[in-house]
Structures are given as C-alpha cells and as structure tokens.
Chain A
Amino acid sequence: MGNHISLLLVIVPLIAAPLVAVLPRGRLPWAVSFAVSVVCAVFAGIQLLSVIQGGVISYELGGWAPPWGIEYRIDAVNAFVALIVSIIAALTLPYALHSAEREIPEEKIPTFYSALLLCLTGLLGITQTGDIFNVFVFLEISSLSSYALISLGKSRQAFTSSYQYLIMGTIGATFYLIGVGLLYSQTGTLNMQDMANILPSVLHLNTVITGFTFIMVGIALKLALFPLHLWLPNAYTYAPTVVTVFLAATATKVAVYVMLRILFTVFPQTFTIATPADELFIVAGMAGVIIASVYAIYQKNIKRLLAYSSVAQIGYMALGIGFASVTGLMATLIHLFNHALMKGALFMAIGAIIYRIDSCRLDQIHGLGRAMPWTFGAIVIGGLSLVGVPGTAGFISKWYLVTAALEQSAWIPVAVILIGSLLAVVYVGKLIEALYFKPVTDNGKTVTEAPLMLLVPTWGLVLANIYFGLDTDLTVGVAEQAAAILGGIKP
C-alpha cells in the first residue's frame, strides 16, 4: 500500500460514483456512499500521519516521472485540507440519509449520491495533485457536480441560482485556465514544483504577470472572495440542505488552498509580496468581513443569513493570506479547519429545523428552540464559535489572526476583526432571539425534536468545535508545519 493511499483517496470515490448511479432506488446508494466517505476519511488520516512523520509523498501516475507525468505531491498543507474535506464528507453522509429523502425526489436519489461522490472526488483531487493543469480538471469535476447538486433544490430558484453559479464558476475556471496557459507558454511545464524552479528566471515578463493575475481572479471567484461572492448566497440558500452543508464546509476551503499553493509555492513569495496581491487580499478581506456581516444581519432567510456569514468568514481567511506571514498563514489554515466545523454544525442544525417545519424563513422559526432543545443547543454553540468566544474553535482562529495583524502593527485589520465579531454577535443573536425568545407562531403543527440521524452528526461537529477550542494540538500543530512549508516571509 504505502503511497497508494494518496491515490486511492481520489480513486475510491471516483469508481464508486458511476456504480452508485446505477444502483436501484432505496437506501443502497446511501450506504455505499457512506462507506466510501468513511474509507476516504481513514485514508486521509493515515496520509496526514505519514506526511507529518515521513515528509513529502510523491506519487507518479501511470509510472511517468514528473515533470512530464502527472504527480500527486502531498505535504502537510494538502494532507491537512484533504483530511478536512473527507471528514466533513464522512459526517455529512449519515446526515444525508433523512435530509435527502425529505428534500430530493426519490427517483433522483442515486444520481444525487453519485454527484456528491463526484464532487468529493474533485475536491480531494484538487488537494492531492501537484500538477497545475490537473487542478483545473478536478476543479471542473467538483464544480460541474456541484452545479447539478445545487439544481436539485426544491424551489424553482434552485435552477436560476445553479445557473448563476455555473456562469460565474465557468468564468472563474476559464480565467484560471488562461492563466495556466500563459504560465505554460513561458515555463514549458505544468508540474507545480518544476514551475516553481523555472518561474524566478521569467518573472519580469508581462506574460507571467498577466498569467498570475488571471489565476488570482479566477480562484478568487471560486472561493467567493468579496466582491466576487455574488453566486454564493443564492447557491447556498436554494441548494438542498445536505449540499449546502457539504459545499459550505469544503468547496471554498479547497479554493483557498489552491490560492495558497499558487501564491506561496508556485510563485516565489518575494514576487507575491512585490505585487499588490497581498494588499488586495487585505482590502477585499476587510470589506468582505464588514459588508457581508452587515448583509447577514438583514436577511430574512436563515440559510441566506449563514451564507452571507460564510462570505464574511472567507474575508478572515483572505486577511491571513494578505498578511503573508507565518502566523497569518497559520491563521488562514486554522480558520479553514475551524470554519468547516462551525458552518457544518450550523447548517446541519438549520437543516434539522427545515426537516421539521419545511421552511427556512426567520419569521417561521419563532420559539422553535424550546421544542427542539438539542438543535437549538447546536445553533447556540455553533454561533458562539462563529463569534469567536473563548473555549470554542472560532476563538483560536481569531486569536491567531489578531496576533498576525499585531505582528505587523496593522491596526485597521485588528479593528475590523473585532467589529466583524461584534456583527456576528448581532446576526447570531437574531437567530437565537427568533428561536428562543419570540412567542411560538401558532400554525397548528406541533414540532418535535429532529431525528437522531440528523442530531448525531450535528453534535459531532458541535463537540468538535468545543474540543478544538480547548485542545489545539492537531490544528495549530499541523497548521504550523503547513505554514512553514508555504513559508510566509513577511515578519
């Protein structure tokens, strides 16, 4: 086995996807997908352990040596991201069983799981590969399947929001591809490592600078960096809840990873810092934190509220990238992990409410907190983590982010991070107020607690939020090693 694990992580869901598509309706497609996601999580765990102990894993596809063949190259950075993606998948799938049965037409269930597995394949592929063109291929696999997944939403707006994402996502992917093409024309290689060796000698060329810009804008669209986030609120709001949980916790994270790779591994860091890219990340990050949080406060739809909050959280990650220091990159990587935990937990809890009342309007959930205490508890703890209260995972990411800002005496970002947290108090408070303090709207239905299959994964993530708020060995330790590999050089 050994190195084959890095490959199987991508291949197992790839092979399972077409098999699931032809399985009969019923619960078999779910069972197979769940098994696959657990296998992937185990593989990703083993991979991370062996990378931490044994250094970089390199896998040559088809036995062709890099830089000619495609190489999977795994270090602490992508092993960490792959673990996030596969753990979220393994937690989303048990949740999917009831939630998907409720929200997705029965005849579409096998295709739904097939698309979910393809999306997982694509996301894991992006993290595993060390080939800059291969990233594009996997990006398309994950994007195309997520367009299909979003369009499975119940309301008719699901189609338009999926279409909107399709257009924006395709522009993003095309920009990325144009950038890769321009870089290829000057370096003659597609292997990231090889390109990193050749690039320093051609950095003065306008072609390379243009390629860099195209890639930045393309990936910024994919990761929904403010102001390129317009596709995200609709996509998250109208997609089936399971899809929202999965995409919110993984898709943008993987795009952040690609951004880190290009900025700090493929291009020399001196180049990245010499360009206005890092300043742009700080400005866009700050604008995203404030503006998206304010938008979140005014939302009448609880899914859309959390979607805008996601845009704000991506702003924090952009800030960490913009600082371009080891602590800044650590903050980004830690927040990558922690945000997956908190948004996963929150969207799952919201999904449990939707499962019971079939609505995600803020004025429909009045007083439900008392009828669904466990779901309510999950929202409270997830919300506290989103705000960054000490003892939750959110606090750790904010702590490192503020530390990174203070290191550079960047007072405005510090203020923005604090204001962003206060705004989070407001929109989380709105949610809690509606759930607990408003009188129950009488619509003749008695609401009971969500089924166990929804609560267990939700609480798994909630407890992870608390655990990683207290014990930071895994997150901070791995992030430290990963940030050292990416090597931010600004003091």
Chain B
Amino acid sequence: MKPNLILHVIAKFLIPLIILFALYVQFHGDFGPGGGFQAGVIFSAAIILYSLVFGLESGEKIIPHHWLRILASLGVVIYAGVGIESLFLGGNYLDYTILGSNQIAGQHLGILLVELGVGITVAAAMLILFFAFAGRGRE
C-alpha cells in the first residue's frame, strides 16, 4: 500500500484516543452507558484502523492470530468463571452479591469482571472476523 502522510499522522493521533475511549466505555459501563460489548468493538476499531492505514501485516504483528483465538476463549472463560466462583462461595450461579463484603461491592465487582470478559471476547472476535475477511485471496 502506498504510504499516505495525512492518513499516517491522523491515525497515529487517533488510535491512542480510540483505545482510551474504549477503556473508558469498558470501565464506566457499570455507572453509565457502555459496557464490554461496545468497548470491545471500539477497541478492535483502533486496531482495524491501524491495519487499514499501515497494512495488514503490521496489524497482524500487533496481535498474532493464535493470540486472538486464545483471547476470544479467555473472555468466555472469565465470564463463566465468575459464575463458577459464586458457586464455590456458596451462592447461585452468577450471584455477584456474594463476591464482595457487602451487596454493592459484590455486584460492582461481579459486573466489572463479567464485562471485562465480554470486552475481551468481543474485541478478539471482531479482529478475527476482520483479519479473516481482509486476508482473503492473499495466499
């Protein structure tokens, strides 16, 4: 791909902001609009933008494909694992209350962890989809 100065400069400027915004949406999801799904999509958008501007190979260098696969699985395991943890603590599945010292702390921690799992899986799945389609016809 032909290097384009304007694209490079703007992308370099925007990508950190996009990632920052993704993290904000991720960790503010329990107070306001947002959450893991949206954050995951925004985060993957940063890497997709990078791959579009700097080429697919440099994009794949940031996160190799087998790592994406592990991350996509990891998110689901985090989500389900939080549920199992509350089982071990004597509550019902996904009963967050039991995770903390009081109800508010427990619910807060529970939703934060679950949304983290969602965020990781969604970001990884979006990137897997992107690389799968973008990489078509290469070999």
Contact = CB atoms under 8 A, between A and B. Distances in A.
> Do A and B originate from a single complex?
yes
Given A62-B96, A63-B97, A17 B91 contact: no
Contacts of B87: 4, 7
Given A18-B73, A22-B70, A22-B73, A62 B94 contact: yes
A18 B74 contact: yes
A18 B73 CA distance: 5
Contacts of B70: 22
A362 interface: no
A219 interface: no
Interface string B85-104: 00100011111111000000
A56 interface: no
Contacts of A62: 92-96
A14 B76 CA distance: 9
B77 interface: yes
Interface in A13-28: 14-15, 17-19, 21-22
Nearest to A59: B92
A63 B91 contact: yes
Contacts of B96: 62
User: What interface size band does chain B fall in?
Assistant: 20 to 34
Majority DSSP secondary structure for residues of A touching B: helix
A393 B88 CA distance: 42
Nearest to B92: A63
A406 interface: no
A347 B77 CA distance: 34
A61 B93 contact: yes
Contacts of A21: 69, 72-73
Contacts of A22: 69-70, 73
Contacts of B91: 63
A11 interface: yes
A60 B92 contact: yes
Interface string A307-343: 0000000000000000000000000000000000000
Contacts of A18: 72-74, 76-77
A241 B80 CA distance: 31
Contacts of A17: 76
Contact of A11 (B74, B83, B98): B83
Contact of B80 (A11, A59, A60, A63): A11
B113 interface: no
B84 interface: yes
A63 B73 CA distance: 26
Interface in B20-77: 69-70, 72-74, 76-77
11 contacts: A4-B93, A7-B92, A7-B93, A11-B84, A14-B80, A15-B81, A17-B76, A18-B77, A21-B73, A59-B93, A62-B94
Interface of A: 4, 7, 11, 14-15, 17-19, 21-22, 59-63
